[in-house]
Chains A and B, each alone.
Chain A
């Protein structure tokens, strides 16, 4: 009986902790959004964030997309061969990249690169009292640190996804033409004919949501980092893990919304 009570207590405690954390993150999001409706807006911080999150993530997102597109072409060719449907490789690579793999893998790579760096940077600022210093200098840390990063990620990740889609499709094209003996012109025609604008736009909308999640998680855990190196390390870990899980969950919800029959 006692062990059952302990077990139920543990479940109850974990549930309460999870609800409390959800509440704190929700309040953090609302506070961030509230900052967007009043000045000042720190343009330089926004520009720096755009460069860090967008431009400097391009190599990692591009490489991920290229290799994924290539592998996808090989898999679809091998699978399609069972039904004599090898010709669908270009269209499936394009649709798969634009709708699903481009945004999800791009989002996860940005989560690994950006959520960790934001959480570590803000966490270090917190433990070295730089955030307190901002407050004493009459500067709201949410306005100066969080809002520019969240806005930059929400705008930059869709663009990264768009570029990643193109590079992924290019990866499929390279493999299709060099390894699978597709005719280059036919491959491109097949891609263009079957790819619709909504395939690309839906992926970019997903990218915007994933970018928002990445920056919010990085900022939330960074701003609430514990003391010392261990606190910053823990904040970084939680930021990446929670951003990744939320991206996958949000991807499912958005796919249901956009494409469910």
Chain B
């Protein structure tokens, strides 16, 4: 289980997180929604230690993240970045097998390539994509490769940062279905950041809404439409008027 305890993070005078507390049960899929620029991605980066929190703690199975061995801690995570963040200088298979070519999980080159091709198949791509470079792929294919990289080392926890941003609705649907299938099939704990409501409905077990640096509402996805929270209602229906200011 992952627990966030009163996380605070500011950039200059901009207080992005103002006491975010969340619990993600083992094996469940939590989706964090909220407007653009509300600090959703910052939460993921704080958990992974890519950004230092100003205040607050992150616990993984009851242990403070700061006290855990960093390499071991990170080896339990997989992450799909917003723009896929594939390494331009490496072919697709080496991107996917990156973690498997070094460190504690190091495998032989042929084994790593075999696993990369198997993961490519898992995300619906042909093996001939393995030797291409990221720049030769479409946005949707890059996302799939990013997904393959996130699951390559069979992590226990996967983070998805805006998995459908920049994709057409059909490709977004394909990626959402893939994420749902993979999360269920691997039994992983998942945390997804999105403002795409189709992703929320496809991926989430639980939903949390971030507003003004705090968790405004949290609950099961089935309760989302009957949340009786004016902020959640405005957001999920995409209304320009309501308690959330349209111009931020």
Contacts and interface: CB of A to CB of B under 8 A. Distances in A.
Q: Do these two chains really belong together in a complex? A: yes
Interface of A: 40, 48, 124-125, 128-130, 132-139
B102 A133 contact: no
Contact of A129 (B75, B82, B98, B102): B82
A136 B50 contact: yes
B71 A138 contact: yes
Given A135-B74, A136-B48, A138-B75, A129 B103 contact: no
Nearest to B103: A138
Contacts, number: 48
Interface string B89-124: 100000000110011000000000000000000000
Contacts of B86: 130, 133
Contact of B102 (A40, A125, A130, A132): A40
A40 B104 CA distance: 11
B103 A132 contact: no
Contacts of B173: none
Nearest to A132: B50
B88 A136 contact: no
B35 to A, nearest CB: 19
A136 B83 contact: no
Contacts of B74: 135-138
Given A135-B48, A136-B79, A138-B75, A130 B85 contact: yes
B77 interface: yes
Contact of B81 (A124, A129, A139): A129
B180 interface: no
A139 B102 CA distance: 9
A144 to B, nearest CB: 9
Interface in B42-72: 45, 48-50, 71
B99 A133 contact: no
Contact of A137 (B82, B83, B88, B98): B98
Contact of A133 (B49, B71, B87, B89): B87
A130 to B, nearest CB: 5
Q: Which of A128, A136, A138, A139 has the most CB of B within 10 A?
A: A136
Contacts of B49: 135
Given A129-B82, A134-B87, A135-B49, 20 more contacts: A40-B102, A40-B103, A48-B89, A125-B87, A129-B83, A129-B85, A132-B81, A132-B85, A133-B86, A133-B87, A135-B48, A136-B50, A136-B77, A136-B78, A137-B74, A137-B98, A138-B71, A138-B75, A138-B103, A139-B98
User: Closest 4 A-B residue pairs measured CB to CB?
Assistant: A133-B85, A129-B85, A138-B74, A129-B81
Interface of B: 45, 48-50, 71, 74-75, 77-79, 81-83, 85-89, 98-99, 102-103, 149
A139 B99 CA distance: 8
Contacts of A136: 48, 50, 74, 77-79
B227 to A, nearest CB: 32
12 contacts: A40-B102, A130-B85, A132-B81, A133-B87, A135-B49, A135-B50, A136-B48, A136-B79, A137-B98, A137-B99, A138-B74, A138-B103
A138 B86 CA distance: 15
B75 A133 contact: no
A135 B98 CA distance: 12
A40 B83 CA distance: 28
B81 A138 contact: no
A129 B89 CA distance: 14
A48 B94 CA distance: 16
A246 B98 CA distance: 36
Contacts of B71: 138
Q: Which of A130, A134, A137 has the most CB of B within 10 A?
A: A137
A133 B81 contact: yes
B11 to A, nearest CB: 12
Contacts of B77: 136
A242 B237 CA distance: 52
Contacts of A137: 74, 98-99, 149
A128 B85 CA distance: 6
A139 B85 CA distance: 14
Q: Which of B48, B86, B87 has the most CB of A within 10 A?
A: B87
Given A135-B74, A136-B77, A138-B71, A128 B50 contact: no
Contacts of B83: 128-129
B154 to A, nearest CB: 14
A40 B71 CA distance: 13
A147 to B, nearest CB: 14
B79 A133 contact: yes
B25 to A, nearest CB: 22
